[in-house]
A = this chain, B = another copy of it.
Amino acid sequence: MTDTFDSTDSGRSGTPLRHLQTVAFDGAFVMRLGGELPGVVCGYETYGELNAQASNAVLVCHAISGDSHVACHDADDEPGWWDALVGPGRAVDTDVCFVVCANVLGGCRGSTGPGSIDPATGRPYGPGFPDVTVEDMVDVQAKLLDHLGVTKLLAVIGGSLGGHQALAWATRYPDRVGACCALATSTRLTSQALAFDVVARNAIQSDPDFHAGQYYDKASKPDTGLAIARMLGHITYLSSQGMSDRFDIDRDSPRQIDTDFEAKFSVGSYLAHQGQRFVGRFDANSYVTLSMAMDLFDMGQTHDQRAEAFGAATCRWLVVSFSSDWLFLPSQSREVVAALTARGQAVTYTELHTAAGHDAFLMQEDVKRFGPLVRAMIVSAEAGTPPPDSDSLPPGSDSSSSAQVEALSLIDERIAELIKPGESVLDLGCGDGRLLAALRERGAGRLCGVEVKEPAIVATARRGLPVLDYDLNKGLPEFSDHSFDVVVLSATLQAVGRIDVLFDEMLRVGKRCVVSFANFAYRDLREMYAEHGRSPKAKGEYRYDWYDTPNRRFPSIADVQDLLTAKGATIHQGIYLDTQAGKVIAADDDPNLNADTAVLVISREG
């Protein structure tokens, strides 16, 4: 029974942390919102060895109910909560990296928290413990890194509250962070998520055994309130679909457990089990303190406020959201990306489709999918700029081949020739990042890809290139006016529903744009149509049958030119190709009939 209940719980059974180390920092520690502690203790675990240059450190930050035991240390050790990501040969490779994970300030697993003894009174702080913010947690971790001799982190990685810490690290200690991997997180909680926290704290604080937080010397602790808070938390960590998959089948057959809580339904016995299990390993005051720290975390309500908040950061970024996460919405991750993008920072973003809800960031199956992106960030941070070739990849890396520059298609060659060294380029529908990689080789400026296909996103990221998982049908709201020298749209136009809207957006974001597309009025296609009365098919983008093509738009060169002209865009240059014959078609040789492909250079100003 216990097996089916054990899951993605980011904490474990409450056994002592065998590999816990502690360090005490004497002297007053002033908290961000006022109040101070006379000193702080930081409990932490480390994995792997710090190298001689102290250049291989990675900091992992845990979520509300997690702790420093991110991974198991050896075969005899208890499982860690992120064994799927961290360990020998894993994405965060402890054979190569020195991994640090600290218990957060305010918690109850080895760092100073409300249950710690206040030297002034000789009793636990309890309600006297000051409000903790995410920034305070991070400041203690910075002291820890000083203590460990780590000046700069290759990467800081965290999900949920751990993601909040990662965002705070990148903005509060910009010089100390090479890459920031922020998973299933946000710049602040939704009002809905905040509301759940409020109800959870009300359950704890209205428990008669809470005694206004000073219950440590009492026979009974506020276990009922804490258990109810935990039950509520568990609902929010799973998706509705995930809960149905798990509990619908035996809805009315609860597991037999010993509980005073309701255990009438299958899901009820699960919640009772999780609630009861949690009180054995967690302190109610710590839960209140940490959930309040999450609620207080706030990098701004508006885009401009967020962009300002991220202004100090200089690292590379990986932002990952999960489609069924309703506690930390994918739209909130996109807000992070938009703020970073507005500041010209290099971000890779993906939204993974999964039924695992918020817990997905902990689930083995999902970790397998975003692990390569985390690895690519660490590798890029390790190599600095320019990003790595295959030689600099750490042992065990499997990205050596795809990181190499591959041959471009004839059309992409033409596009690359239109871009000058040093120019910044946004490639919409970047595929596996081949064009961007070639441009980097030729000495381009800032580069960014946009793509929706997960394998293509991973392939681009593994080249060390930033890539954003955005749907071009929604325009380019994340990008500022004229924020790129060149915006490229190559072999993608035919799949975009509102290409007229996207053209407006491209012309806004790019100082100039390069558009390549297959000509649906090419001679062969016209013939199929006119003579045979059948929907044309061709090589390339138009290789599909009419009824199962991903394409939605079938314009000729003249159609596109007409539309651009109607939009007030200037067509500076047109390159017309008959790729089947391998020749260039002159502008006065009726390219609308004779070319199967056009490459246009356009801009709004002229």
Contact = CB atoms under 8 A, between A and B. Distances in A.
Interface of A: 190-192, 194-196, 198-199, 201-203, 205-206, 208, 224, 227-228, 231-232, 235, 238, 240, 243-244, 246-249, 251, 260-262, 264-268, 271-272, 275, 295, 298, 301, 326, 329, 498-500, 520-521, 526, 529-530, 532-535, 545-548, 552-559, 562-563, 592-593
A547 B558 contact: no
A325 to B, nearest CB: 11
A235 B547 contact: no
Copies in the complex: 2
Given A191-B251, A529-B521, A534 B559 contact: yes
A530 B526 contact: yes
Nearest to A229: B199
A198 B547 contact: no
A195 B262 contact: no
B548 A202 contact: no
Nearest to A203: B228
A530 B525 CA distance: 9
Contacts of A198: 231, 262, 264-265, 267-268, 271
A376 to B, nearest CB: 32
A202 to B, nearest CB: 5
Nearest to A525: B529
A261 B224 contact: no
A205 B262 contact: yes
A519 B489 CA distance: 31
9 contacts: A194-B265, A199-B232, A202-B227, A202-B231, A202-B275, A205-B262, A533-B556, A535-B556, A546-B559
Nearest to A188: B251
A206 B240 contact: no
B535 A235 contact: no
B235 A206 contact: no
A593 B556 contact: no
A546 B535 contact: no
A445 to B, nearest CB: 31
A295 B252 CA distance: 10
Nearest to A530: B530
B521 A534 contact: yes
Nearest to A550: B497
Contact of A195 (B267, B534, B557): B267
Contact of A555 (B202, B268, B535): B535
Contacts of A547: 498-500, 553, 555, 559, 563
B554 A199 contact: no
B202 A228 contact: yes
Contacts of A535: 520, 554-556, 559
B247 A191 contact: yes
Contacts of A190: 240, 243-244
A494 B176 CA distance: 56
Contacts of A244: 190-192
Contacts of A563: 547
Nearest to A265: B194
Given A533-B558, A535-B520, A546-B553, A235 B499 contact: no
Nearest to A535: B559
Contacts of A235: 192, 195-196, 199
A261 B206 contact: yes
Nearest to A246: B191
B533 A530 contact: no
Contacts of A545: 500
Contact of A243 (B195, B246, B526): B195
Nearest to A198: B268
A494 to B, nearest CB: 11
A602 B563 CA distance: 40
Given A198-B231, A198-B267, A326-B326, 20 more contacts: A191-B248, A191-B266, A194-B251, A194-B268, A195-B243, A195-B268, A195-B271, A202-B275, A205-B262, A249-B301, A251-B301, A500-B548, A526-B530, A526-B533, A533-B556, A533-B558, A534-B558, A535-B559, A546-B553, A546-B554
A348 B272 CA distance: 41
A552 B552 CA distance: 5
